[in-house]
Amino acid sequence: MNQSVLCGVIAMWTTVGLNAESTPQANQVRPNIVYFLVDDLGYADVGFMGSRDVRTPSIDRLAREGAVLSSFYVQPVCSPTRSALMTGRYATRTGVYSVVRPGAPWGLPLGERTLPQALREAGYTTAICGKWHLGEFQPEYMPTRRGFDHQYGHMFGALDYIPHIRDGKHDWYRDDKPLQEEGYTTRLIAREACRLIRAQPTDKPLFLYIPFNGVHSPYQVPEEYRKAYPHLSGNRQTMAAMLSAVDEAIGQITAALEERGLRENTLIIFSSDNGGPAPGRVSRNIPLRAGKGTIYEGGIRACAFATWPGHVPAGTTISEPMHAVDWYPTLLKVAGAPLEQKLPLDGLDVWPVLTQGAKSPHDAILLAGTSPSQMALRMGDWKLRVDAGDWNPAGVDWSTARVELYNLAEDIGESKDLAASQPQKVKEMRDRLAVFLKDAVPPGQEAASKATGRRTGAQQQ
């Protein structure tokens, strides 16, 4: 089906389906929405995904109470995943293929309608506690200008966890204004999230987005957490301790919801923003191949779950593929917010998948790399990976690109390239990929460099 036609059909379904059984009825209280995004978390670094050397009891409890999403896709690095979540649109539409660096003259394009904007229009209080990472070089790019009523935390990653310094610059804010405050960031983020929950009026729904900077480097953690892992060493030990701090924070936030009597009417979503870095040494992405920065499964398939008592069946695992872009239309539908907008969406409503065991609404999912010259496509059990080398502003020569083909049902570790033996499948998927790439935009930093007369390199850290 033509992509523009598909978007129109989905919009029609959304309008018609607002009162369907898969979504809250119009006379029901709309759910609070809490989204936990953990930075650089490995696919197998939590208990509910099989970890035996890192303890995550609070996270695992929530996972047991809902549905584990075993084929949930994100982007290979930080900013692109956040862009996909905020807009419901692939990097090929927003230009956010790579990380927005401090002071870079670009960010999430201002013409994008964001998830918090849409939810605020529907009557939600909207708040972010943690890492924004979608631009700050002008006030218009900062969170309170992009739909958040409240902001607390930092604009970038890789900041020092206690003095909150990144590249020699202080990076800690409240409502987009510099805040001089020290303390371990994970604990501060939890404290603020709990404060907002306790202050939230009971007659108004809350969208609380909590993108922790843990467990991203630098590897820093209070010593009491490290002592719990004498069997580990080096950065693996520190990462495990950092994850314990995140788990503790999630437990505190969940407890705050329960204290206010909000847990039963709160949809909680959890995921990593990309695959774990340095797999085997720092993170664990088993049984997936590679890690952060790549478009192999270890870079783009995230550990994830969704839970809402009485709505998302508990103790289930969903293997149907879905992508971070899907949360935008799904959450708007659940919240009763209007989905109609000028910009076309790539995300599709996955609520029936979560609640009724439906198949994925996608016939194909685009898995964009850190530049427009690196792309992957998932269709059913098949995955095509295409790499044309370094990004060239003059255009991408796909005819000479390296092509790899994998059957993920039989080879989740992507160890057997079937491209040579399956030429028809390669052609079918390349043709489908071409539809996605037909109107792909260049990287945001490339557009910024043209506007400012200087080039900025695509960064992947």
461 has a pLDDT exceeding 80: no
DSSP state of 459: B
Same domain, 129 and 108: yes
pLDDT per residue as tens digits for the range 28-85: 569 999 999 999 999 999 999 999 999 999 999 999 999 999 999 999 999 999 999 9
CA distances from 148 to 145, 157, 347 (A): 7, 19, 21
18 has a pLDDT exceeding 80: no
Q: Which of 68, 43, 118 is nearest to 412 (CA)?
A: 43
pLDDT at 240 (0 to 100): 98
* Residues facing 382 on adjacent strands: 379, 407
Give the pTM: 0.92
Same domain, 159 and 287: yes
pLDDT per residue as tens digits for the range 390-424: 888 878 888 889 999 999 999 999 999 999 999 99
Same domain, 181 and 269: yes
Same domain, 342 and 408: no
Residues designated as active site: 78, 133
Q: Final residue of a domain: which of 309, 330, 356?
A: 356
- 209 — phi, psi (to 5°)? -100, 120
Q: What are 450's two structure tokens?
A: 């043209």
Which of the residue ranges 166-170, 381-385, 454-458 has the most confident prediction, judged by mean pLDDT?
A: 381-385
70-74, 302-306, 339-343: which has the minimum mean pLDDT?
Answer: 339-343
24 has a pLDDT exceeding 80: no
Same domain, 175 and 224: yes
Q: Which of 118, 127, 131 is nearest to 77 (CA)?
A: 131
* Residues facing 69 on adjacent strands: 318
Q: Final residue of a domain: which of 326, 356, 386?
A: 356
Same domain, 402 and 334: no
Q: Is residue 387 part of a domain?
A: yes
pLDDT at 459 (0 to 100): 36
pLDDT at 7 (0 to 100): 42
Same domain, 386 and 345: no
pLDDT at 447 (0 to 100): 64
pLDDT tier at 10 (50, 70, 90 boundaries)? Answer: very low
Q: Which CATH number do you get for residue 44? A: 3.40.720.10
pLDDT at 451 (0 to 100): 56
pLDDT at 29 (0 to 100): 66
Same domain, 290 and 395: no
353 has a pLDDT exceeding 60: yes
Q: Is residue 6 part of a domain?
A: no
pLDDT at 446 (0 to 100): 75
Same domain, 369 and 220: no
Q: Is residue 172 part of a domain?
A: yes
1 has a pLDDT exceeding 50: no
pLDDT per residue as tens digits for the range 256-298: 999 999 999 999 999 999 999 999 999 999 999 999 999 999 9
Q: Is residue 82 part of a domain?
A: yes
335 has a pLDDT exceeding 60: yes
Q: Is residue 15 part of a domain?
A: no
Same domain, 237 and 94: yes
Same domain, 69 and 122: yes
- Range of 41's domain? 30-356
Q: Which of 378, 277, 262 is nearest to 319 (CA)?
A: 378
Q: Is residue 375 part of a domain?
A: yes
454 has a pLDDT exceeding 60: no
* Residues facing 375 on adjacent strands: 368, 386
Q: Final residue of a domain: which of 295, 323, 356?
A: 356
Q: Which CATH number do you get for residue 440? A: 3.30.1120.10
pLDDT at 390 (0 to 100): 87
Q: Which of 42, 54, 35, 28 is nearest to 285 (CA)?
A: 42
- Alpha-carbon distance of 309 to 265, in angstroms, equals 7
What value does the mean pLDDT take over residues 298-319? 98
Q: Is residue 7 part of a domain?
A: no
pLDDT per residue as tens digits for the range 129-175: 999 999 999 999 999 999 999 999 999 999 999 999 999 999 999 99
What value does the mean pLDDT take over residues 207-214? 98
Same domain, 74 and 112: yes
Q: Is residue 322 part of a domain?
A: yes
Please count the structural domains in the chain. Answer: 2
